[in-house]
């Protein structure tokens, strides 16, 4: 019997101070970029890119963990999502991101992790499909993490939040 809640909120993934870890929708080189990666590197400061250099590159579906540097969290978990329709099978690679992120959360005995909607920005994954995979994979994988209590999906817009809430409500 597990006791993990999954919630979704509208917000900025770089401003989730009450979570043990936040997840970065990273690029293969784990370097600053646009979207989520830009916001996280800006908030974490230059020490993050320095630490990331030794851990890159990563492949689609993989996850690595670093310190949070200037961010208020304990860790940042970096996932490389699939480029939709290019990195195949995109659905399995996307599920792998969430599964591998939770493996790292288990290893570090984390109680709370916040995720952005991985691959749904420049990587082009249709939002509803991507969030369906996110919710299903988090539900399947979280019982294996005994310390885990709270998972949060952070959506950037109110429209995206409504899509996510509908998926959580019906599944």
Alpha-carbon gap, residue 94 to 80, rounded angstroms = 9
Q: Does 12 bind ligand ADP (CB under 6 A)?
A: yes
Rg (CA), the chain: 14
Considering only 8, 19, 30, 36, the residue that binds ligand ADP (CB under 6 A) is 36
Of 23 and 148, which has the nearer Cβ to ligand ADP? 23
Q: How many residues does the chain have?
A: 171
The interface region with ligand ADP, picked from 1-9, 10-18, 59-67, 137-145 by CB under 6 A, is 10-18
Of 75 and 115, which has the nearer Cβ to ligand ADP? 115
Map residues 88-127 to x or -, x wherever contact with ligand ADP holds by CB under 6 A: ----------------------------xxxxxxxx----
Q: Where are the alpha helices (DSSP H) in the chain?
A: 35-44, 46-53, 90-107, 127-141, 158-170
Q: Does 14 bind ligand ADP (CB under 6 A)?
A: yes
CA dihedral 129, 130, 133, 137 (to 10 degrees): -170
The rounded Cα 105 to chain-centroid distance in angstroms is: 11
Which stretches of the chain bind ligand ADP, using CB under 6 A?
A: 12-14, 25, 34-37, 39, 81, 116-123, 154, 156
């Amino acid at each position: 019997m597990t006791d993990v809640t999954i919630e979704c909120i509208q917000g900025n993934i770089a401003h989730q101070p009450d979570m043990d870890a936040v997840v970065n929708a990273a690029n293969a080189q784990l370097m600053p970029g646009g979207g989520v990666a830009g916001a996280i590197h800006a908030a974490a400061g230059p020490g993050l890119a320095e630490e990331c250099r030794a851990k890159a590159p990563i492949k689609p579906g993989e996850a690595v963990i670093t310190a949070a540097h200037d961010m208020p969290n304990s860790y940042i978990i970096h996932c490389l999502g699939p480029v939709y329709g290019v990195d195949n099978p995109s659905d399995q690679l996307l599920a792998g991101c969430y599964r591998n992120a939770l493996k790292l959360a288990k290893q570090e005995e984390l109680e709370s992790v916040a995720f952005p909607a991985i691959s749904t920005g420049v990587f082009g994954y249709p939002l509803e499909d991507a969030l369906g995979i996110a919710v299903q994979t988090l539900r399947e994988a979280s019982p294996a993490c005994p310390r885990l209590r709270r998972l949060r999906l952070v959506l950037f817009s109110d429209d995206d939040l409504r899509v996510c809430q509908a998926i959580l409500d019906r599944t």
